[in-house]
Every structure is written in C-alpha cells, then in structure tokens.
A and B are shown apart, each in its own frame.
Chain A
C-alpha cells in the first residue's frame, strides 16, 4: 500500500497570505490528524478528521482550519500567515479515530516558510 502523501513538500509564503496543504491518507484509512512541528515546541496537535467531520481540535487560533473529503483526503488552510507559522506540518492517518491500537502513520510533511 502507498503511504501517506502530502503536497506540496515545501512552500514559501509571505506574511498575510494564505496557504492550503493537502494530505492523502493510506488507502482505507478514514482518520486524518494534523500536527505542527517546530524545533522548540515538538509536535502540536492541530485537529483530527474522521468521516468528513472534525472530531477534535487543538489550541490553535481560528486562522487554522481544515476539512476532509469523502475519499478521506484532507486539506489544511492557514489564513493571514504570520512569521510564527513557519513550521513542518505533518499529517497522520489511521484506520479509525485515535485510540488504542489505531496506529497513526505519518506523511513526510510540508515545510512552510513564512517571510
């Protein structure tokens, strides 16, 4: 099976712009979670989608949003970009919503740089 894929892999934007990141889960996986990874903050949970519904949300401002499509592919949008949004954005998929035994498989990430 193909692994989790994310596009684009690298992105450079300027402050104030918006960006959309895409994640395609492993075939058959219905849950997609998004994380922000920065050197000082580790892996910060953004949100989780399951069956096109947001099931959980982390402590991020409303500028961060997402959605999931019927084929389980997910997109994450960040509006009005700030310098502090520069990070590696990882998505992870699992068969079901997060829980024991539902191993999360990570994609390669999208590295976003905000200038």
Chain B
C-alpha cells in the first residue's frame, strides 16, 4: 500500500554534530521527495527537495540523497545548531487514480543540545 516510513522517530545530537534521517517509500513510480521542517507551534516549511533523476542535492548544511533502487532517501544536516531543533518530515509523491498525492512520513523530532 501507500507508505513512507521514517526513522528515527526521535534524534538527539550535540551542537556541531551531524544528524541523519532516513525514509523509505513503497511506490517505485514516485519521483519527487521533499523534506519539511516544522518548528514548535509553526507550520511545516519546505527545506529541500530532490527529484528522481538526481542522486544528491546540497544546500549549505543540508543535503539529501536518493537511492531509487533501494527506494531510500535521507536527510543529512551537518554542523547542527540549536535552531535546527524541530520535527522533520519526509514525503514522497505517489500516483493514485491518475493524479499525484504527497504522502508524509511520521516525522523525526530532532533535538540539538548546546
């Protein structure tokens, strides 16, 4: 069925360390994988996305990698800072009834300790 699994559910790191969040998806036809950051009490906001024709994308301290064969994609945050503390959601486009819909993972609560 339609599913995006996200791990870990919680992640605690020291400031300056790296954080990695992993997702797997079920629909091999998925071709778009956005990542959203949701700070406490705020709306989710897109931080980076990747399309299926690209294996890796970087934006400053954030990178996303995609392995289409294994149906895995991951978010990497380097040199973490306290303001990176938030819930991060991965998502994948699934094709249903001829149209696309975005399916989200369950989220990862990242805590960066000073």
Contact = CB atoms under 8 A, between A and B. Distances in A.
A108 B93 contact: no
A43 B104 contact: yes
Given A98-B93, A106-B45, A108-B43, A55 B106 contact: no
B58 interface: no
Interface size of A as a range? 20 to 34
Interface in A8-64: 33, 35, 41-45, 48, 55-56, 58
Given A100-B32, A108-B43, A56 B104 contact: no
A98 B49 contact: no
Contact of B93 (A35, A43, A99): A99
A41 B31 CA distance: 24
A106 B87 CA distance: 15
A33 B102 CA distance: 9
Contacts of B104: 35, 42-45
Interface string B7-41: 00000000000000000000000011010100000
Contact of A56 (B36, B42, B43, B101): B101
B51 interface: yes
Given A90-B43, A90-B44, A42 B107 contact: yes
Interface string B81-108: 0000000010001001101111111110
A50 B72 CA distance: 30
B51 A43 contact: no
15 contacts: A42-B107, A43-B89, A43-B107, A48-B99, A55-B97, A58-B101, A90-B43, A97-B99, A98-B99, A98-B101, A100-B32, A100-B93, A106-B43, A106-B45, A109-B43
